Amino acid sequence: MSNQINIPRGTQDILPGQTEKWQLIEAKARELCERYQYRELRTPIFEHTDLFKRSVGDTTDIVQKEMYTFTDRGDRSLTLRPEGTAAAVRSFVENKMFGSPNQPVKLYYMGPMFRYERPQAGRFRQFVQFGVEAMGSADPAIDAEVISLAMSLYKELGLKKLKLVVNSLGDKESRKAHRDALVSHFQPRIGEFCSDCQNRLEKNPMRILDCKADRDHELMKSAPSIIDYLTDDSAQYFNKVTKYLTDLGIEFEVDANLVRGLDYYNHTAFEIMSDAEGFGAITTLCGGGRYNGLVEEIGGPETPGIGFALSIERLLAALDAEGVELPVNEGIDCYLVALGDEAKDYTVGLLHNLRMADFSAERDYQDRKIKAQFKAADRMNARYVAVLGEDELKEKKINLKSMADGEQIQLPLESFIEKFKDICK
């Protein structure tokens, strides 16, 4: 086995038995988006590196430390997408969706993202995100709608121990006043902070509040709050968002220290966390917020936007932490047991016809004895087993056994599928 090649670090194989859970979550997300009128967007897995530098921000950990960037044969710098919003906005601009008569443009995406970071529980270098973006409306009601969609997904999948935290990052004027206050607050003792925070002081001091290494420093607790620097317009906007959340019956907490790790956020910012015992040190399940100005940054007209992204891996971990079993259908409708060569030959066509009639069905391909075939049917959680031997074939009949109660009946072979449909109703 010395030539064995293993999976790259920070990635995972999602095996049968697990993929069904993923499919159920994906189906629920799609169904919810249909209700909320968000339509699917699929973008490339890699984009020009400059897209992420301009949108996510040069000073962010993602751009500085975590991107998978490579130069192609045409000497172009390309990056595997580390998040979904920048690509969605690029597509919005490039395909002139801002000209659509239906505004706001409401999109969702689902797919793999890539970040080079230390692998840990529930965090991978290749991970799958589901996210939504609403571009073209500055109405605080759309902020509440986006948050509602995220909360609905978690709740409808069975999670109960959730905490929604919201904040306002304000407009440009609010941000500038807050930035100046943060610089004055941290500058005298910035030497006590990590090198990342020292770099952020001039470039983006709000990011200091997001530092994991220095989060227990006393200056963090006494840092100026953005809420105290909001302009009247920003404060009114945030009050509307929180009012609408209350109207929707969505519980939340306001956390003035909540900042998102990407430069493009302003006004509403939010995170949804798991309060489940034993979930782990990193409790965030979902994050999002408003990004007015990002469309212009990527070359489009002035267009407000808001969205969120969540990790499917972390959603599955939260379900495990709360002991929620997803209602995955792991059984099959019918298993065909054949005895004798002629009967085996006949079941090839019969199996196909069952499947064409919308039944999930299987047969033996290992030339096993009848007892082993019944064991295989049991392992596959078959509702019914249909047994065809040489004698039954001659009489043009087939025996059907219910695995739930053991009841057996004999049915005519030529009308078996029609009769089986009636039995399964």
User: What does each C-alpha distance from 394 to 18, 140, 370 come to in angstroms?
Assistant: 43, 73, 19
Residue pLDDT, tens place only, 167-195: 998 888 888 888 888 888 888 888 888 88
pLDDT of 78: 96
pLDDT of 115: 93
Q: How many CB atoms are located within 10 Å of the residue 218 CB?
A: 9
pLDDT of 181: 87
Element (H, E) at 27: helix 19-36
Q: What is the pTM of this model?
A: 0.88
DSSP string, 147-189: HHHHHHHHHHTT---EEEEEEE---HHHHHHHHHHHHHHHGGG
Strands 77-80 and 266-274: unpaired
Residues contacting 70, CB < 8 A, separation 6+: 77, 78, 79
Q: CA–CA separation, 259 vs 265, rounded Å?
A: 9
pLDDT of 64: 75
Task: Please report where in the chains the tokens 């060569």 appear, as a residue.
Answer: 341
Write out residues in the chain with pLDDT < 70, as ranges: 1-2, 58-61, 119, 121-122, 260-264
For the sheet with 77-80, list strands across it.
46-48, 77-80, 69-71
Report the greatest alpha carbon distance in the chain: 95
Residue pLDDT, tens place only, 224-283: 888 888 999 999 999 999 999 999 999 999 988 787 656 667 899 999 999 888 777 778
For the sheet with 382-388, list strands across it.
361-363, 332-338, 382-388, 397-402, 408-412
Q: CA–CA separation, 278 vs 301, rounded Å?
A: 46
Element (H, E) at 307: strand 305-311
The SS3 of residue 355 is helix
pLDDT of 204: 79
Sign of CA dihedral 189, 193, 198, 203: negative
Q: Are 388 and 339 in contact (CB under 8 A)?
A: yes
pLDDT of 261: 58
Q: CA–CA separation, 233 vs 168, rounded Å?
A: 12
